Structure 1
Amino acid sequence: MVILFNYLTVQCFNCIIALVMNVEGRKIVEAIIELTLTFSKMIKFHPELEKLRAVELYTLFYLLRHGPCKMKDLAQALSMTKANITHLVDALERKGFVQRILNDLDRRIVHVYVTNYGKKIYDELIEELSKLVENVASKLKPADLVIISRGFEKFLAEFSGSKGGTK
């Protein structure tokens, strides 16, 4: 089973549209979507990752990239309700990818952490993606790779600094 990355939050989608309102912008958005779909077809996912819904995978990715966080902050970061995040975290916890830990000072606060198992599976996925990217990159000219790398860095910097972007 291949996980199709077809979930974009309204917040992220609006951010993309706001940043790229011209024809070139549309080409960039379509290229990102095509790249994402191509990745999802070419990657040999870990059997455990295949059991995850796309939104669960995004939640896991967010936690791995941004570290443990409160349920409320996770809901806000992914533009979801607290109830939806609770269901997502429940599912990820049942599957062994995350765990909830109560704050020692204020037991009303719950932090979500990625488990060692979740980190291991993520590392395996990143290794698989890295091989795929290295294979494609080996076919490109070094100057093209520099342009692509700088372009991605600039794009990420813009999204991170813009309203509605991820940080």
Structure 2
Amino acid sequence: MINLAQVLRLREHQKSFKELEKLGAIDVYYLEAIYQLKEPTIGTISKLLGQSTPNTNYHIKKLINLGLIEKRIDDVDRRVTHLLVTDKYSELINSDEDFWARMQDRLESEVAPTDLAIFQRVLRQTIEIIGEENRQDSVIG
């Protein structure tokens, strides 16, 4: 697991997206949440990530300045602001998705089907264990 984490960190570093190097872990959570929720409000993101509105606004401003997200006023209720990722962020995500698609294709063509099935099962279990550890850490912390 340590070797895998190191290789993935090196890959991220080699991509050297200067904007992403400026992000902290919570910034990445904001980006992922905004991307997954498709135009959430600031309040929705604050509640989802358990952050105060001022703290959320700080991170939102940082992400806007880096050109990774933008605000859009609601068409119906002009008091509501939605957040959405920019084309710049979508391009970063898509380049990563291309890498993972190529990786999956290579695994499927170069690894024996039985070994691949075992790997997929172990990977699912690893993801579950990481999720459990994260939940325990959030309860403790």
Same fold (TM over 0.5): yes
Match of 2:64 in 1: 93
Task: Say if 1:75 and 1:82, in contact at 8 Å, map to a contact too.
Answer: yes
Deviation at 1:150?
4.9
Higher relative contact order, structure no. (Cα contacts within 8 Å, ≥ 6 residues apart): 1
- Residues 136 and 82 of structure 1: is their aligned pair in 2 closer, same or farther, counting only changes over 3 Å? farther
- Residues 124 and 149 of structure 1: is their aligned pair in 2 closer, same or farther, counting only changes over 3 Å? same
% same residue: 18
Structure with greater Cα Rg: 2
Q: Distance in 2 between matches of 1:101 and 1:34?
A: 42
Q: CA RMSD in A?
A: 3.3
Deviations 1:106-134 (A, max 9, x none): 22211101111111112123334555666
Provide runs of 4+ in structure 1 moved above 4 Å: 33-38, 129-140
The one of 41, 59, 79 aligned to 2:30:
59
Stretches of structure 1 that go unaligned for 5 or more consecutive residues are: 1-30
Number of aligned residue pairs: give it: 128
Q: Which amino acid aligns with 1:68?
A: E
**TM-score normalised by structure 1 residue count:** 0.59
Stretches of structure 2 that go unaligned for 5 or more consecutive residues are: none
Q: Which amino acid aligns with 1:144?
A: I
**TM-score normalised by structure 2 residue count:** 0.68
Deviations 1:22-74 (A, max 9, x none): xxxxxxxxx6x986565324433342322322221221122222211000000
